[in-house]
Amino acid sequence: MPQNFRLPKNLRDRSRALTKAQKISVAGAAALGVATLALTAAPSQAETPAHTAAVASVPVVLGNQPVKEIKVSVTDQLAASALKAEAIAAKQKAAGEAVAKQRAAQQAADKARQDAAQKAAQQRTVQEAASRSAQRPQVQPAGTNSYANNLDGWIHQSLDIMAQKGIPGSYNGLYRNIMRESSGNPMAINNWDVNAVNGIPSKGLLQVIDPTFNAYHVAGTSSNIYDPVANITAAANYAAHRYGSIDNVNSAY
């Protein structure tokens, strides 16, 4: 360029008007171009090793910072970004595990409440059933009461069965006839009257012959003629059909 060459005034004014930031940007771009040429330039076969070494030894500078330092800075930024991504992933995983744990705890609590409600309902059912059972009058079938194994117990048990079957008779009527016929001995047998002569002796507390016992036997009692309760009940049933009640019998019948 000729030494006496001068930029037009308007261009000089524009050059002066460049800001400091624009100047730094221009300088940086120029330095980047130099660095690019230096990095991409490869020595040809015609160049001497000395020339190659000289080119390789030239430091590459981008602006005021060497390219090597820029590369390290980028690597550090990438590492920091990776660590940040890992931290975010770990945080998301922890949050997911916390939600799953909370959900499991809620499900366990719901199940516990359901089990408690079911157990309470079962207990209420049992209590209500027990309450209804307590309110109902206790009807005890014949033969299930606890009777004394003696004449008094046998008469009371027979009376309970007679009441269920609709057979009339009283304690006094039964007792009076039993004492006359057998003196209260359930194994008593008559081997000398006409029935005995005919081979069918009278047996038991109320001295009943086998045909009469079989004909008037009351269901639910023993089929053994010597059984006290069965003997009394069958005799009372026979007397009810023939005399209206055992209470009406005052002699041999």
pLDDT in tens, 117-158: 888 887 887 777 766 655 544 444 444 578 999 999 999 999
Task: Return the pLDDT at 83.
Answer: 81
DSSP notation for 38-101: HHH----TTS-HHHHHHHHTSPPEETTEEHHHHHHHHHHHHHHHHHHHHHHHHHHHHHHHHHHH
Q: What angle do CA 146, 150, 153 make, to 5 degrees?
A: 40
- Rounded Cα distance between 143 and 221, Å, is 9
Distance of CA 225 to the CA centre of its chain: 58
Tell me what pLDDT residue 184 has: 95
* DSSP bridge partners of 66: 61
What's this model's pTM, rounded to 2 decimal places?
Answer: 0.45
CB-based contact 174:155 (threshold 8 Å): yes
Q: Mean pLDDT in the chain?
A: 76
Tell me: the pLDDT tens digits for 78-109? 777 778 888 888 888 888 888 888 888 888 88
Q: How many Å apart are CA 84 and CA 19, to the nearest integer? A: 37
Calculate mean pLDDT across residues 41-52: 42
